[in-house]
Structure 1
């Protein structure tokens, strides 16, 4: 009886199961320039062929050997989750039970127009993209992409990342149901910072002297950037790079439904949620049924009606402007402590010679 009472007295959030599923089916994701499929250990040698770890210290702040070892572990963790293995059984255990999803980035592009696929030698694989540190309790995950040396700076990241984030934020079972997705970028990697800002990430903190800059023999800061589910707009993130929404991708229908629901709620609010024609028949309306109002009452009523119409007109104009943005959440639901992606677009545009991650 005591245990039952204790359970009933627990906060509602504590009673909700927040564990990640024992196994997962990693969905394929279609882009305009690339498509993503679940990565396998057989794909790992292809990253070496692609020279994917070149310049790792500039891109992630880690040396090439460490970066290579981490990515090998992430792919094995991803396959273990697909197979329904516990972290202990996978051989790469995690006491916090955080999971990883790995996709191979595949393209059919022929940029040099020689009649053959650019990445034919690596079975069309040009890199990998990951959701790592997937934390079911806090609904948080980190995203990272690695591309072959010759495939950086071509826009592949801009095509793949918004689509993975849409899946990550979508509610279960269509997506992972994450609340937050974040990245960590060395301060000198200004190109990646610019790309992430364009995707809607905002700087949320700095780890001072967290990384060693081997090229300049000094420490550098690590910039942490994140975005939340009620801030992220998959449509605008793709629009920023001239990409289009692909409605069959996982999580897209949920994002569109959330937008339609939000717009409908705001339109209902703008209309007062009721038929104003029947307000005068209700108790407490100020005018009894079938009673002729005085001249003073008519003047007050006209002024009130004029104010209401003005407010409704203003609200409808605002809704129209918001609807054009395709934002899936209302203005009032956004976190005021964060900045929307269009406010950060254009910052950090300083380019260097190092290609994007």
Structure 2
């Protein structure tokens, strides 16, 4: 008689490593911007926006190279959304890594002239990409490019967490990525600060990987990343006084996965704490047996000292406390950039 046996496969291993042959790129809504799938026609708008200005300082590429890769990313995104193979995108892709490109749009009127700032480019102010999407490793790189006059206004802080939430959300609501990473020149300290606020941590440095033309020397390329069980879709927005918009793609799924991960960590921490308390109790009992303490008589008028918290006792570990939240109406980005233009990131 043959006994039927079942083998439990971890969720991470059972997940398909094949990306879909065709993807429907969802629109994403923010509080300052909205995203729609980028088109080849949007590429000329980036030239109008002077979006490649200062590329060597922001990404480490010269503006000609930066323009070329952006054109390739958009064409690969359009090809994937049309169900074409990577080698049918017109730019080639020997590793068959896919790309998603969104156009960034805003209705903002920062100069107070009662006209949309980006009216000449149909409200487009830049693009955001998930590139090097690796189905096997479940990894993707994120990058933003904005017009010269739209940098430093907080747009990246609004759109990046929402794209990352979609990237991490389980399929089919999201891409089901395990890791999202960025690469930034060491001198671009402003971007590094933004990425850290979003939960990215430095994971490595490529020494002298870029040429810094402005200072005529090499500079390092800093790689930063965050993982699905580390990324917090709420705190990443709270850090900038923004709110989760639950009707965006993947939000509910990403939040559910995050809460599950947090519950596992809290249970593990509770078990470790209980184990430590048990060990301390046994140690105290052993010490009491070896060196008994004489009882002190009660003394009228003297109150017992309050019991202090034991070493290792901690408060609630739930991260979304009210004290950490910043009301949107008081957010710094509500007025940042009004009446002036920024020349660099």
TM-score tier (shorter): 0.7 to 0.9
* 1:181-210 CA-partner distances (Å, limit 9, x unpaired): 001111111111111111111111111110
**Residues 175 and 215 of structure 1: CA distance in aligned 2, closer, same or farther (over 3 Å):** same
Output the TM-score relative to the length of structure 1. Answer: 0.73
In 2, Cα distance between the equivalents of 1:269 and 1:230?
A: 15
Which residue of structure 2 aligns with residue 250 of structure 1? 249
Deviations 1:76-135 (A, max 9, x none): 000000000001222222222100000000000111121110100100000000000000
Are the counterparts in 1 of residues 167 and 175 from structure 2 also a CA contact under 8 Å?
yes
Matched, 1:324 2:324: no
Structure 1 CA distance for aligned equivalents of residues 184 and 268 of structure 2? 42
Alpha-carbon contact 2:149-2:343 (below 8 Å) kept? no
Q: What are the Cα deviations for residues 335-357 of structure 1, in whole angstroms up to 9, with x where unaligned?
A: xxxxxxxxxxxxxxxxxx9732x
Aligned mates of 1:271, 1:188 — CA distance in 2: 42
Q: Contact 2:170 / 2:254 at 8 angstroms: preserved in 1? A: no
Q: Alpha carbons of 1:56 and 1:15: their partners in 2 closer, same or farther (altered >3 Å)?
A: same
Query: Secondary structure of 1:234's match?
Result: coil
State the match for 2:181 in structure 1: 182
Aligned to 1:101: 100
Instruction: Find the counterpart in structure 2 of residue 54 from structure 1.
Output: 53
C-alpha deviations, 1:27-55, integer Å up to 9, x for none? 00000000000000000000000000000
Aligned to 1:138: 137
Q: How much has 1:256 moved relative to structure 2?
A: 2.5
* Structure 2 unpaired stretches of 5+: 1-6, 272-308, 323-341
Alignment of 1:294-333 (within 5 A): 317-319=315-317, 321-322=318-319, 324=321
Cross-structure match for 2:27: 28
Measured at CA, do residues 264 and 157 of structure 1 come closer, stay the same or move farther in structure 2, by a change above 3 Å? closer
Return 234-243 or 254-263, whichever deviates more.
Answer: 254-263
Change (3 A) 1:68 1:267: closer
Match of 2:36 in 1: 37
Q: How many residues align?
A: 282
CA RMSD in angstroms comes to: 2.8
Say which structure is richer in helix: 1
Q: Deviations over 1:312-348 (max 9, x none)?
A: xx68x535x44538xxxxxxxxxxxxxxxxxxxxxxx
Flag the 1:15–1:155 CA change in 2: closer, same or farther, 3 A: closer
Give a deviation string over 1:273-307, Cα, whole Å, max 9, x none: xxxxxxxxxxxxxxxxxxxxxxxxxxxxxxxxxxx
